[in-house]
Amino acid sequence: MGRPLRIEYAGALYHITSRGNEKKEIFLDDADRTKFLQILEDYHDRYGILIHGYVLMDNHYHLILETPQGNLLKVMHGINGSYTGYFNRRYKRSGHLFQGRYRGILIERDSYLVPLSRYIHLNPVRAGIVEKPEEYTWSSYPGYLNEKKGHEWVECSWVLSQFGNEKDKARRGYRKSMEEVLKTRVENPMNKLYGKTMLGEKSFIEKIKKMIKGKPISRDIVERKRLRENPLPATIMKTVQRFCEVTREEITLKGKKANTARKITLYLVQRYSGLNNEEIGRLFGDIHPSAISKSSTRLKEEITHNKKLSKLVAEIESIVKA
């Protein structure tokens, strides 16, 4: 499985989940849960993170975490590492406690922080542990409703501010919104993920894509193609025109078998534009989708034994990918 992309910047907001290795329990009693919360408080104080919400289940946890200093990797390595060390010492064990790396989803605050906070706070209800979310002790939700039941290091203010300017009114408004959600089917905001790494409106997604443009994206990153800004087919075509010294009409012309420029363009559009074969077929004179795949396969085979063609394609490709 590919590793998820870690996007770090000052003020980034994340939904963090981390599960026990082989789905085993990571909290065996209340002392374990208390220790984990102490670690969260410590990292809140040391690294200036903001924790908008949390839920501790038996074999996993949820955090809504903001990093004003853009230090997610350092923070999460420390939190999970510290808890693993404690757990192993207490239970005289060794090795990994968590299943691989944590999952960190980048969140757009304005559109998704409120529904996400509701979703994680309802986790114990969905699991059938309690009937009402306020009955679950190991969640930040009781503190959202009553300051005395919460922790000072939990940042409730932004979510509550969406329900009123006065604290009591805001708490009542948030509680009412939770009760209304409970009456209906709880929608999982994670169903709207983009590239398995981001949750937000189109403008937010485009902003992040521009932010990471030009930065190396490892080949093992999940959905890496969707996170790049794909070159337009027209841009690819113009580049091929320039290198091959042909016109647009010559590239789009059907039926000419020795049309190298057309074959290169088809190959690069399929590889880098993000369009599917059906969409590409329409751009090149309504050719069948299967013809796109066959053309690309033939060109790749030809490249392996034609050094001149290989060099030409590589030069064009380097510009298209830039």
Asked if 204 and 98 sit in the same domain, the reply is yes
In the numeric block, which tokens belong to residue 265?
A: 């363009």
153: domain range?
12-224
| pLDDT band (50, 70, 90) for residue 216 | low
Residue 1 in any domain: the answer is no
In the numeric block, which tokens belong to residue 104?
A: 């960190």
Asked if 239 and 219 sit in the same domain, the reply is no
Asked if 193 and 167 sit in the same domain, the reply is yes
Tokens 């050094």 found at? 307
Q: What is the pLDDT of residues 52-110, one digit of tens each?
A: 999 999 999 999 999 999 999 999 999 999 999 999 999 999 999 999 889 999 999 99
**CATH at residue 271:** 1.10.1750.10
Asked if 76 and 211 sit in the same domain, the reply is yes
| Residue 243 predicted with pLDDT over 50 | yes
Residue 4 in any domain: the answer is no
- Choosing from 208, 224, 240, the residue where a domain stops is 224
Asked if 167 and 283 sit in the same domain, the reply is no
Residue 2 in any domain: the answer is no
Considering its fold, how many domains does the chain have in total?
2
In the numeric block, which tokens belong to residue 205?
A: 């997604």
Cα–Cα distances (Å) from 238 to 19, 146, 233, 310, 313, in that order, read 49, 63, 9, 19, 14
| pLDDT band (50, 70, 90) for residue 219 | very low
Write the CB contacts of 252 (distance below 8 Å, at least 6 apart in sequence).
262, 284, 285
- Choosing from 179, 197, 224, the residue where a domain stops is 224
Q: 136 in the Ramachandran plot: left (φ > 0), alpha (ψ -120 to 50) or beta?
A: beta
Cα–Cα distances (Å) from 251 to 14, 62, 244, 266, 286, in that order, read 46, 53, 10, 9, 14
Question: Nearest-CA neighbor of 102 among 38, 20, 40?
Answer: 20
d(CA 187, CA 118): 10
Residue 159 in any domain: the answer is yes
Q: Which residue has the higher pLDDT, 83 or 5?
A: 83
- Choosing from 172, 193, 224, the residue where a domain stops is 224
* Candidate from 1-10, 30-39, 57-66, 178-187 with smallest mean pLDDT: 1-10
Residue 5 in any domain: the answer is no
* Candidate from 23-37, 281-295, 298-312 with smallest mean pLDDT: 281-295
